[in-house]
Amino acid sequence: MHTGLYHALDFTKDGKSLDFLAIPFSIDRSPYYQVKVPVCRIRNGDGPRVLLMAGNHGDEYEGELLLGRLFRRLDPARIRGELTILPVANAPAVMAARRRSPLDDGNLNRAFPGDAGGTPTARLAHFLEHELFARHDVVFDIHSGGTSMAHLPCALIERQGPPDRLARALELMRALGMPYGFVAENGALAPTSMAAAARAGAIGLSGEFGGGGTVTPDTMRLTARAIDNLLMAVGVTQEPILEAPAAAPAPMQLLQLDSHRQGIYALRRGWFEPVVDVGARVAAGDLAGWLHDLTRLDVPEEALRFRESGIVISRRLHTDSEAGDCLIQVARPVEEADILARAA
Ligand SMILES: [Zn+2]
């Protein structure tokens, strides 16, 4: 009773329901406290099984807002198959407007495969990977840059699983209709939701849909279209639910981060001034920004230069930076053939 994770979900029941994953965790205010993670189910017979989640990191809002709206708006009669929706997956982090849970400092996207007897975040990760992801064909985990980071809006997959599954993941990623698609190299044992989905036998899709701890009309539109497009591509829905149909998007540019040389890190306390923004095309040797030292006004600001060419994919939003903070990252444009050739 004082550990584990329990729920009363019936995965065979048609219709629409709102339930909770409950994680007992005794706290000062409440000895019998349970972390309650809302879980929405919509089912209409057999068919594709899709899990949509947001709030893996608490301060990334496009998915959180849109998945709630999707659940309210979607009539089970309009779908085929089943949807499981977790709009605020790491609920304590969402309620604290933080990336990680304040209960245990748990970063859900670094907590997989989790621990059934661990902290609340570890127990949640364990349940997701071993029980919930395994019940679905596709897992779509919606992220953004969060409070501290601006991010190029891009879909994301990890290079996971056999070549045919990677090819299907690339196909579904293109179907999202995003301007960029990023193929991450995190390895089969990675602590991320995408690696967890692969270990559970599902296709994992993700993406960075905004940043800065806020949403904009543009990021909401892009994210709504991506959700609609995915549901139509896998055959759950026949028409958009969240957005009016859009003109066909421009072809997706695929990107890769595969070297630590693609990031520029602070090596000491400093104040970061970028001179380029996300989306800029840059060459190795170009100026990325300046690191000021407000404690040493006699010392000139340090020039930070890119070591690799490509497209700026993310940058730190907080000017005040510590040693170890990633200030800016550049991704390498790639072709699909290169990615598939490396997987074969
Ligand atoms: Zn995130």
CA of 295 to the centre of ligand 1 (A): 32
- Cα 146 to middle of ligand 1, angstroms: 6
Query: What is the β-pairing status of strands 281-282 and 302-305?
Result: unpaired
Q: How far is the CA of 188 from the centre of ligand 1 (A)?
A: 19
Give per-residue pLDDT as tens, 110-161.
999 999 999 999 999 999 999 999 999 999 999 999 999 999 999 999 999 8
Are 195 and 158 in contact, with CB atoms under 8 Å apart? yes
Give pairs for 105-113: CB < 8 Å, separation 24+.
107/57, 108/56, 108/57, 108/193, 109/56, 109/57, 109/141, 109/143, 109/191, 109/192, 109/193, 110/191, 110/192, 111/191, 112/190, 112/191, 112/192, 112/193, 112/195, 112/196, 112/199, 113/191, 113/196, 113/199
Ordered by where they begin, the domains of the chain are 15-256 (3.40.630.10), 259-343 (2.40.50.100)
Q: How far apart are CA 62 and CA 328, in angstroms?
A: 22
pTM for the full model? 0.93
Q: Are 333 and 255 in contact (CB under 8 A)?
A: yes
CA of 12 to the centre of ligand 1 (A): 31
Rounded to the nearest angstrom, the distance between the alpha carbon of 145 and the centre of ligand 1 is: 6
Of 60, 119, 120, the residue nearest 87 (C-alpha): 60
Q: Which among 267, 263, 268 is positioned nearest to 288, based on CA atoms?
A: 263
Ligand 1 centroid from CA 132, angstroms: 19
Q: How far is the CA of 61 from the centre of ligand 1 (A)?
A: 10
Question: Among all chains, which residue has been given the structure tokens 């960029």?
Answer: 180
- The answer to whether the beta carbons of residues 150 and 62 sit under 8 Å apart is no
Instruction: Give the position of tokens 């890190």.
Output: 265
Q: pLDDT digit string (tens) for 47-101?
A: 999 999 999 999 999 999 999 999 999 999 999 999 999 999 999 999 999 999 9
Residue 125 Cα to ligand 1 middle (Å) = 15
